[in-house]
Amino acid sequence: MTANPPRQGRRGEARLPASLAVLAAIALYALLPETLLVLPRLLIPALGLLLLVALVVVNPRRLTRQTRLSRVASLALVALIGLANAVALVMLLRALLASEVQDGRALLVAALQVWLTNVIVFGLAFWELDRGGPVVRTQKPREQLSPADFRFSQDENHDTVSEVAAGSSKLAGWVPALHDYLYVSLTNSTAFSPTDTMPLTGRAKLLMGLECTSALIVSILVISRGIGILQ
């Protein structure tokens, strides 16, 4: 079997999935109870939307262009959502550990919102950091990419049966896209460990460790306390 080098035709990833993921995270944050917010409700969503609009202007349909400013803006957007959600998690724990909880059901819903936002924001972080980001992964030759932060199964399937090897990184030029990183984030938040995709670098391991720790707090401590409140 011969190698097929096009790597997604160098068209770049579609802008829409990433935009929808960011909008979902912003909406989940904006709908949190007032007790979990330390800043005006619309401040973080407004800042997030401004950064998203700026990124859409640079790459309206497909992610094929990157400037130093757009790179900083994309990382800042993920960091903004992640930090806001981390603060909401701390406030959620504080509310649930209080001696008197007024509305247990609302806090349970808030716990789910924080958990879902966590999955999205870490998926976006993996997507933005791995091998230099989404633009670099499709626009630069593979030999010019930064060391991989994650090892996907497609990266080592080239010597398996032909129908599996046909979609491998080596033979088909496969490149991970946003949905692949969201899947990694989801499995890490539910299994509390890597599943089919392994972290390779220190920063990838640190991020996955932070994610599964926060997911563990939400899934076990927060939800169990919330169920106790409802009883």
Domain boundaries, the chain: 11-230
Rounded distance, CA 68 to CA 181, Å?
23
CA-atom Rg of the chain in angstroms: 19
198-199 vs 150-151, strand pairing mode? antiparallel
Any residues with CB less than 8 A from the CB of 155 and at least 6 apart, and which?
148, 168, 169, 170
Rounded distance, CA 189 to CA 193, Å?
8
More confidently predicted of 118 and 168: 118
| Among the listed residues 172, 184, 228, the one whose alpha carbon sits nearest the alpha carbon of residue 208 | 184
DSSP run (H or E) holding 111: helix 104-129
Q: Where are the beta strands (DSSP E) in the chain?
A: 150-151, 198-199
More confidently predicted of 230 and 139: 139
| Among the listed residues 83, 49, 52, the one whose alpha carbon sits nearest the alpha carbon of residue 70 | 52
Q: pLDDT-derived band of residue 92, with 50, 70 and 90 as boundaries?
A: confident
Mean pLDDT computed over 162-177? 76
Q: pLDDT-derived band of residue 17, with 50, 70 and 90 as boundaries?
A: very high
In the beta sheet, which residues pair with residue 150?
Answer: 199
Q: pLDDT-derived band of residue 101, with 50, 70 and 90 as boundaries?
A: low
Of 104-108, 170-174, 189-193, the range with the highest mean pLDDT is 189-193
DSSP code of residue 150: E
